[in-house]
Amino acid sequence: MIQVVIFISVIAVILGVRLLLEMKKNDDLWLELIIEEHKRRVLEREFSQLRFNEMAFRTAMSQIKVSPDIKDAVHYAMVHAHPDNGGKQEDFIRFRKCYEQINV
């Protein structure tokens, strides 16, 4: 009879320890999920701020008046940097982007 009680007690302790280990594992998983969710929210906020800053920059750039002389100079550089005119493609692309930005 005592052996049965001891056996049942040992089984109960083993099951209790396994249950505690399982609960600990679940707590760790929940903690990881909470940390990942926090990281995701921080990245969303940072991305939103970057988009706002980009929009503010574009708005500011569109309000700046570029003189016709500068536009003509960039256009001249773009035309002469064209590969058909013996220029480098990288330079042409860079001047074209600049020209597109100042002609917004």
Q: What are phi and psi of 31, to 5 degrees?
A: -60, -45
The model's pTM: 0.40
Q: Is 66 helix (H, G, I), strand (E, B) or coil?
A: coil
pLDDT tens-digit readout, 21-49:
666 666 677 677 777 888 888 888 888 88
Work out the average pLDDT over 77-86. 89
pLDDT tens-digit readout, 3-28:
655 666 666 666 666 766 666 666 67
Ramachandran assignment for 86, one of left (phi > 0), alpha (psi -120 to 50 degrees), beta (any other): left
